[in-house]
Chains A and B, each alone.
Chain A
Amino acid sequence: DTAVSQTPKYLVTQMGNDKSIKCEQNLGHDTMYWYKQDSKKFLKIMFSYNNKELIINETVPNRFSPKSPDKAHLNLHINSLELGDSAVYFCASSLPPQGAFGNTIYFGEGSWLTVV
């Protein structure tokens, strides 16, 4: 059973297109995330949701719109794709932080997006 699953795993698309990546977790976690890993392997948070509510939005262009229909799902829609959007997008989930301490974040397998 995959804990955090995301689809599609590979996506090649042309500039200007709109695409979505779906994510689901079966861990019972309340908190879900989208992280982006660029070509230099630098992993950076984009969004965080807790129980369907947007908590973190890290200065991501508004072409990127996350949607959480319920706490087990967090989808990412990207409008007007640009070459620089090519990256690996990781969905992740965790229990909510406990006081001052963060909780373990579990990552999905990643979605490789290539914009041509």
Chain B
Amino acid sequence: QKEVEQNSGPLSVPEGAIASLNCTYSDRVSQSFFWYRQYSGKSPELIMSIYSNGDKEDGRFTAQLNKASQYVSLLIRDSQPSDSATYLCAVSPSNAGGTSYGKLTFGQGTILTVHP
């Protein structure tokens, strides 16, 4: 089983729709969860971080975390063509013991295309 698994893509949505990206993780002691966006040929850039169960909203983006189900998702409302990119889910395990110091484990990414 992969440590971090994202819903297989590519995902295609019309402009103005809600895009839903999902991610599951296997390490139950994980504490920190991140969504990165990566445009083709560019570096990943952070768009959301979430640490507690529930929802976290930032503009058109909402991250949802359910630690009991080991599930984290990203909703993009009013999707725009400029949202077309690969979205990477990343999980940071607990730093207890220090051996995972700052380590991020990434999923394989979901390619999102928003068409006009």
Contact = CB atoms under 8 A, between A and B. Distances in A.
A104 B36 CA distance: 10
Interface stretch (B63-71, B76-84, B99-107): B99-107
Interface of A: 31, 33, 40-45, 48, 50, 55-56, 90, 94, 96-97, 99-110
Interface stretch (B18-26, B54-62, B88-96): B88-96
B16 interface: no
A56 to B, nearest CB: 6
Given A40-B108, A90-B43, A107-B43, A100 B96 contact: yes
Categorize the interface residue count of chain B.
20 to 34
B104 A109 contact: no
Contacts of B44: 43, 90, 107
A43 B37 CA distance: 12
A53 to B, nearest CB: 10
Nearest to B98: A55
B32 A105 contact: no
Considering the complex of A and B, which 9 residue pairs feature the smallest CB-CB distances, nearest first? A102-B92, A102-B32, A107-B43, A43-B106, A55-B101, A100-B31, A97-B95, A100-B94, A101-B32
B86 A101 contact: no
